Amino acid sequence: MCREYTEADACQPIPVEGSAFNEKTVLPYGLSVSHLQSAMRDFIDFLGFINQQLYSRDLARLESFLMPANFSSIVGEFMNETVPQYCPALARNQHHNGHPDLIPADMFSGNSVQYTQEGIEIKASRHRSGWQGHNPEAVWLLVFYFDSNTVRDKTTDVPPKRFQFRGVYGARLEEGDWNFSGRSETSRRTITARVNRRGLAKMKENWIYEDLR
């Protein structure tokens, strides 16, 4: 049976479990498990601080009033900013909407490049599969899988829950590891690509963190 939390309880995220990391995982560009663990713990501290401040002012938690995609973006952007603080071999890509998010430090002028296959693309998702990108690309993909409340929960009677990192998965993907979803000339849907079964298998085989309690 799942434990029930009060709104006050839910302001404090579940700590990162040190024993849930895979020390045998293969990571590129000098990145290590300890770097990711430190960045994840920083996010737990950040979210706990923000949510407790919001709660003290009778405001909803961050994940409970932002649209789901916006909150996922915050998780991902926090990692983009924090991982290089622990892994000096990587730098945040300073190019606006540059790809990928993290690039090898000092490989490009000003650590800025519009597009390169060198580096790591970071995503955060509430889903354990079906991760999306804008294009099928050869890239090292790193996904932070988490669980939390959403803005929709208020209307569906979902009780408060504590934010938790459930998994981190990563692998070098090729174009064939994505399924491309185009759109018709009249559609306004965003063009996307989705990691397919082959790509998912690569990432799950090279799992970095799993805490599925």
What pTM value is reported for the model? 0.93
Burial of residue 91 (CB within 10 Å: 0-12, 13-18, 19+) is buried
With CA atoms as reference, report the closest residue to 62 among 53, 183, 189.
Answer: 53
CA angle 3, 8, 13 (to 5 degrees): 65
In the prediction, which pLDDT does 154 show?
A: 84
Q: Whole-angstrom Cα distance, residue 89 to residue 30?
A: 6
H or E element that contains 78: helix 68-86
Length reported for the chain: 213
Residue 182 Cα distances to 65, 106, 108, 185, 199, angstroms: 31, 35, 32, 10, 19
Paired strand residues for 144: 124, 168
Regions of the chain where pLDDT drops below 70: 1-2, 134, 182-191
In the beta sheet, which residues pair with residue 193? 133, 180
Residues 188, 69: Cα–Cα separation, whole Å: 18
pLDDT at site 136: 78
Task: Give residue 190's pLDDT.
Answer: 58
